[in-house]
Amino acid sequence: MALDTDVTTNSLGFAKPPAETRVVVAMSGGVDSSVVAAELAAEGYDVVGVTLQLYDHGAALAKKGACCAGRDIHDARRVAEAMGFPHYVLDYENAFREAVIDEFADSYLGGATPVPCIRCNERVKFRDLLETARDLDADCMATGHYIRREAGPRGPELHMAADPARDQSYFLFSTTAEQLAFLRFPLGGLATKAETRALAAKHGLAVADKPDSQDICFVPNGDYASVIEKLRPGAGEPGEIVHLDGRVLGEHRGVIHYTIGQRRGLGIGGLSEPLYVVKLDPEARRVIVGPKEALATRTVPVKEINWLGDAALESRAEWHLSARIRSTRPPREAILRPTGPTTGEVELIVAEEGVSPGQACVFHATGGTRVFGGGWIHKG
């Protein structure tokens, strides 16, 4: 396995033998993190596997296809037993609820479309778990994310994965320079997911053919609305569906059931033009709809910027780079104009549709692989 770090003595970049290098591996129970742990153990590293229990274990046991379910904890433990390294399960339920789930619910109630997986990486895995790794006297922490950490003239840099189809840089934009110094991403340099599964098979891991997780771990079957209604009773109050021109077209069943750019399921058939959700007004309990061209946006206000450039964010009036406003879309040419230490305005050279508050805006080097961090889209 080709590691993506600068190599001195060992493959993780430390000037000492693997046996004297302790690495904590964040193990979700999936094939990616399992392969990282197995490969490092096979190379002779002092591996410690850690799995986080993030939400109710009883409910998790009946939940498949999510990253932190009870079955996944069991699978991670089996890998550790097979490869002969210690494995611990840490109860982070309270921290996860406070740092991720509560904000997820409140963001939806506020008309935003949150990305809880980013908050989990930022506030739980790369903060609390990373501190636990330091407490265990680890030299570094490794994860199964598809992203590269490369040596640069001013320290470690974040780069997109070698396989664009697997790249997870959108979900890791908030990784700080300090965290990056401690982290390792061994899978970032692999060309395809098939290589990862081949490595799992080589080690005889039971998870070699395990499907990738699809859902947010605490949202069964992708049903966001039902989860929010349980967390915030009364959140599904009905209201009006209103056209941009002021016409009331019908009634909706709760703002939490809608997202910017949505076309299907509006329940307002019989109109001459296709309509899309262009704005959510939770205070007035209104869903505003309009034609597709009303979704086009060129100006994107961004807050909570984590900047990973070589020079300070405010050292320039503007930065010419590429911006990515959804995980499913490629980076597009843009200009970032800082408005404060952690705020800015992004001008998209070509308008994009469906820019939504609550989503991330991630900065990339134009025509390159480097990730310059990013921030959160807000209403401005």
Q: Which positions are catalytic?
A: 120, 217
Quote the CA–CA distance of 95 and 76 in Å, as a whole number: 21
Per the CB < 8 A criterion, the answer to whether 346 and 335 are in contact is: yes
Residue 253: what residue type?
Answer: R
Sign of the CA dihedral with 344 first, then 345, 350, and 355 last? positive
Beta bridge partners of 277: 289
What 8-state DSSP symbol labels residue 215?
B
HEC string of 181-214 equals HHEECCCCCCCCHHHHHHHHHHCCCCCCCCCCCC
Helix residue ranges per DSSP H, the chain: 31-42, 57-61, 70-83, 93-96, 102-109, 116-120, 130-135, 177-182, 193-202, 224-231
The CA-based angle 98-99-100, given to 5 degrees, is 100
Residue 137 CA to chain centroid, in angstroms? Answer: 27
Q: CB of 40 within 8 A of CB of 142?
A: yes
Question: Strand 183-184 vs strand 296-307: parallel, antiparallel, or unpaired?
Answer: unpaired
* Residue tagged 């049903």 (tokens): 223
b/e 120-153 (16+ beta carbons within 10 angstroms → b): bbbbbbbbbbbebbeeeebbbbbbbbbbbbeeee
CA angle 372, 120, 285 (to 5 degrees): 95
Q: From the CB of residue 164, how many other CB atoms can be counted at a distance below 10 Å? A: 10
The dihedral through the CA atoms of 98, 132, 310, 341 has a sign that is positive
